[in-house]
């Protein structure tokens, strides 16, 4: 194996250690062992890690009724559970049907019942339950507009909560008077429980007024469907107290970054999460990694879509780092990996990108202009052409993104 092949292999191994630390089965098992739920709960598992989380819960409560709502890639049958597949990142009709099944189950509960809610990233899009007057197509249009606007996950979920019957504490309200215990796997920086899967068991982030203001600030308000604008123009509800719930964080991005550090003890962990626009994140990486060694990152960037190409934030970040390293005059061997822990980056089948000091040259040899590619947001096809996509398949978990840079 060549030196660069060894470096690429090492970067993947470090990344995989971070993904393994976010194993939902182990996290749920530990939480239920330490503090078990009394009786036989209704298990509602929602998100990209829902299937594995439900599997762990059913090992503890084999007689429980379980509903699992997850993305198509992770929708594997599970004995004892109803597994429902839905669209992500844009909600679809299957997601609406799954939301209806969840609401039907909640509506039958009494004060003697307990809900074990297993929540992970992706739940916002997977479980669409639009408010009255807003259609699924309307919600999908809002999602697409937010994704293209460069809105971060907190901003996106703040808007989603105001258009949903289940988000922003909606599930908790529907479950009343039953008791609710939620085990939560975080895919957001700072682990704000209101943001993860749009907070079905916690209070909302904002109000209709703040959602409208954000959409106006992002320049997408006037293009939104009329029913959405009508709903967000209504006065906010002020008299809806939220029932109590027990919300427990069981996994997060910092835990996975720490696991990468264990796999690479000599590495340096970047002092803060990578967030914001991918171009700014790439510049931060280049400015940070000025010498030889391994540097580890975690976070979740955003992309402002201006072109018509295909890609995701991790693929674009990887390509931008490759270009920026060349512009900075980096010498010697280096590799950079940026990947989503769920195994899927944007609307693609790749987890992200894995580039090295030869990437820009190989693109040029293939007749591909990386600057033009980035202008068209077409990082997927460029990286695919030179074999620099990170392909992991669905991982069954989701704790945002991880990055590894190695310089020799």
Q: Looking at the domain 266-407, which fold is it?
A: glycerate kinase, domain 1 (3.40.1480)
Q: pLDDT tens digit string along 351-392?
A: 999 999 999 999 999 999 999 999 999 999 999 999 999 999
Please give the Cα distance from 328 to 405 (Å, whole number): 15
Q: pLDDT tens digit string along 299-336?
A: 999 998 999 999 999 999 999 999 999 999 999 999 99
Please give the Cα distance from 354 to 339 (Å, whole number): 8
Please give the Cα distance from 211 to 8 (Å, whole number): 42
Give bridge partners of residue 339 from the DSSP assignment: 352, 402
Please list the helix, strand and coil fractions of the chain in percent, rounded to the nearest 5, in that order: 40, 20, 40
**Sequence spans of domains, the chain:** 23-251, 266-407
Please give the Cα distance from 228 to 172 (Å, whole number): 24
Please give the Cα distance from 3 to 11 (Å, whole number): 13
Please give the Cα distance from 352 to 379 (Å, whole number): 10
Give the per-residue pLDDT at 296.
98
Which residue, 183, 214, 239, 244, is CA-closest to 56? Answer: 183
328: left (phi over 0), alpha (psi -120 to 50) or beta: alpha
User: What pTM was estimated for this model as a whole?
Assistant: 0.84
Strands 65-71 and 389-390: unpaired
Q: Distances from the Cα of 130 to the Cαs of 93, 98, 108, 211, in angstroms?
A: 12, 13, 20, 15
Structural contact between residues 115 and 44, judged by C-beta atoms closer than 8 angstroms: yes
Instruction: Please work out, in degrees rounded to the nearest 5, the angle formed at the alpha carbon of residue 121 by the alpha carbons of 58 and 354.
Output: 115
Q: pLDDT tens digit string along 12-61?
A: 999 999 999 999 999 999 999 988 898 999 999 999 999 999 999 999 99
Give the per-residue pLDDT at 238.
64
Q: pLDDT tens digit string along 205-243?
A: 999 999 999 999 999 999 999 999 999 999 987 667 899
Q: pLDDT tens digit string along 175-208?
A: 999 999 999 999 999 999 999 999 999 999 999 9
Three-class secondary structure of residue 389 per DSSP? strand
Q: Distances from the Cα of 333 to the Cαs of 71, 356, 406, 407, in angstroms?
A: 38, 7, 8, 6
- Mean pLDDT score of the chain, rounded to an integer? 95
Q: How many CA atoms lie within 13 A of 11 on its CB side?
A: 33
Of the pLDDT bands very low, low, confident and very high (cuts 50, 70, 90), residue 258 is very high
CATH dotted code for 23-251: 3.40.50.10180
Running DSSP on this structure, what letter comes out for residue 302?
Answer: E
Q: What is the distance of C-alpha 203 from the center of its chain?
A: 20
Structural contact between residues 185 and 49, judged by C-beta atoms closer than 8 angstroms: yes
3: left (phi over 0), alpha (psi -120 to 50) or beta: alpha
Q: What is the mean pLDDT of residues 158-180?
A: 96
Three-class secondary structure of residue 37 per DSSP? coil
In angstroms, how far apart are the furthest CA atoms of the chain?
68
Query: Does the N-terminal peptide bond of residue 177 adopt cis geometry, omega within 30 degrees of 0?
Result: yes
Which string of b and e fits 10-37 if b means at least 16 CB within 10 Å? bbbebbbbbbbbbbbbebbbebbeeeeb
Please give the Cα distance from 118 to 115 (Å, whole number): 9
Q: What is the distance of C-alpha 334 from the center of its chain?
A: 28
Give the per-residue pLDDT at 349.
96
Give bridge partners of residue 118 from the DSSP assignment: 45, 183
Q: What is the distance of C-alpha 1 from the center of its chain?
A: 34
């Amino acid at each position: 194996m060549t030196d660069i092949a060894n470096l690429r292999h090492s970067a993947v191994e470090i990344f995989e250690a971070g993904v393994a630390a976010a194993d939902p089965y182990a996290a749920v098992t530990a939480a239920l062992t330490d503090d078990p739920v009394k009786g036989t709960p209704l298990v509602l598992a929602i998100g990209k890690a829902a299937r594995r989380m439900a599997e762990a819960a059913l090992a503890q409560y084999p007689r429980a009724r379980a509903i699992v709502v997850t993305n198509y890639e992770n929708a594997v049958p599970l004995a004892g559970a109803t597994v429902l597949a839905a669209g992500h990142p844009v909600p679809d009709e299957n997601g609406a049907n799954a939301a209806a099944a969840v609401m039907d189950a909640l509506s039958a509960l009494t004060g003697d019942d307990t809900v074990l809610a297993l929540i992970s990233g992706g739940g916002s899009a997977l479980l669409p339950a639009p408010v009255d007057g807003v259609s699924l197509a309307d919600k999908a249009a809002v999602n697409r507009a937010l994704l293209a606007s460069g809105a971060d996950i907190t901003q996106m979920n703040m808007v989603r909560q105001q258009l949903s019957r289940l988000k922003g504490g909606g599930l908790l309200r529907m479950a009343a008077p039953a008791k609710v215990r939620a085990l939560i796997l975080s895919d957001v920086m700072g682990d704000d429980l209101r943001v993860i899967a749009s907070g079905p068991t916690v209070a909302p982030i904002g109000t209709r007024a703040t959602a409208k203001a954000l959409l106006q600030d992002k320049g997408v308000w006037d293009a939104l469907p009329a029913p959405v604008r009508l709903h967000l123009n209504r006065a906010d509800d002020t008299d809806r107290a939220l029932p109590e719930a027990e919300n427990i964080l069981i996994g997060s991005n910092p835990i996975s970054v720490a696991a990468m550090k264990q796999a690479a003890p000599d590495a340096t962990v970047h002092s803060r999460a990578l967030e914001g626009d991918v171009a700014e994140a790439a510049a931060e990486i280049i400015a940070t990694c000025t010498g030889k060694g391994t540097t580890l990152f975690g976070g979740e960037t955003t992309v402002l879509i201006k072109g018509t190409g295909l890609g995701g934030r991790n693929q674009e970040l990887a390509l931008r780092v490759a270009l920026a390293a060349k512009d900075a005059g980096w010498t010697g061997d280096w590799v950079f990996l940026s990947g989503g822990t769920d195994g899927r980056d944007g609307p693609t089948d790749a987890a992200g990108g894995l580039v090295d000091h030869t990437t820009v040259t190989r693109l040029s040899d293939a007749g591909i202009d990386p600057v033009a590619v980035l202008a068209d947001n077409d990082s997927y096809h460029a990286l695919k052409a030179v074999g620099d996509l990170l392909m992991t398949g669905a991982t069954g978990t989701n704790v945002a993104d991880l990055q590894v840079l190695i310089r020799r």
